[in-house]
Structure 1
Amino acid sequence: MSTVTSESTALRAVVVAHRDALEQILERYGATNPRLFGSVARGDATADSDVDLLVDLLPDLGNPLLRVAGMGEELSDVFGRRVDVVTPTLLRAEVSSTALSDAVPV
């Protein structure tokens, strides 16, 4: 069993502390099912790590790229750390399987 870094624990705590804001932002952009993936989900985040968030988008609510970019910008402001928001369809194939296996519900 590997050790979870203090940075991972701290970043997860930031997400939990701002859950209401996260839910409001996701609702505004028509996003559901938020999952952490990447270094925070794996527990090996460092001081320079960002927060990677995988979401599902409701269809027909505008350009998906603009929506994920807007969510990322707003969440970065809320969390005080860069947040990358992606959907399963926007992930590169080689990243997708790893991201999906790392993903933990928020």
Structure 2
Amino acid sequence: MGNSTPAALRLRAAVRRHERSIGDVLARYGATNPRLFGSVARGDARDGSDIDVLVDLIPGAGNELLRVAGLSEELTDLLGTRVDVVTELLLRDEVSATVLADAVAV
């Protein structure tokens, strides 16, 4: 990411700095395989950009929408910037291919 914006670099650094705590939050919600996508993954985030995270949810560990909402809230609090969490099942088909093309493992 040699051409990443300062905002993208700052947000990626925040994710790396909190990697262990992020893992703890994901485990509490039965989420695995976190991947960044969107402007942070592409390196073109701007001031005010959010962090988009794609996760897999372990089946049978509770209501998926409540888990995604809880993950988003806790990760937002942890990272100090809005975090949008989605699963592949929640993505529209036409958006899914773009998200998966952008996805970078956390």
Q: Shorter-chain-normalised TM-score: which range?
A: over 0.9
C-alpha distance in 2 between matches for 1:48 and 1:94: 25
- Residue 92 of structure 1 and its aligned partner are, at CA, apart by 1.2
Is 1:104 aligned with 2:84? no
Unmatched segments (≥5 aa) in structure 1: none
- Residue 83 of structure 1 and its aligned partner are, at CA, apart by 0.2
Superposed CA RMSD: 1.2
Unmatched segments (≥5 aa) in structure 2: none
- Residue 40 of structure 1 and its aligned partner are, at CA, apart by 0.1
**Mapping of residues 41-60 of structure 1, within 5 Å:** 41-60=41-60
Q: TM-score, normalised by structure 2?
A: 0.97
Deviations 1:14-69 (A, max 9, x none): 00000111000000000000000000000000001000000000000111010000
Letter in 2 for 1:51: I
C-alpha distance in 2 between matches for 1:62 and 1:72: 16
Q: TM-score, normalised by structure 1?
A: 0.97
User: Matched residue of 1:35: which SS?
Assistant: strand
- Residue 74 of structure 1 and its aligned partner are, at CA, apart by 0.2
Deviations 1:52-100 (A, max 9, x none): 0000000001110100000000000000000000001111112111000
C-alpha distance in 2 between matches for 1:29 and 1:80: 19
Correspondence for 2:5: 5
Correspondence for 2:63: 63
C-alpha distance in 2 between matches for 1:3 and 1:61: 40
Structure 1 segments of 4 or more deviating over 2 A?
none
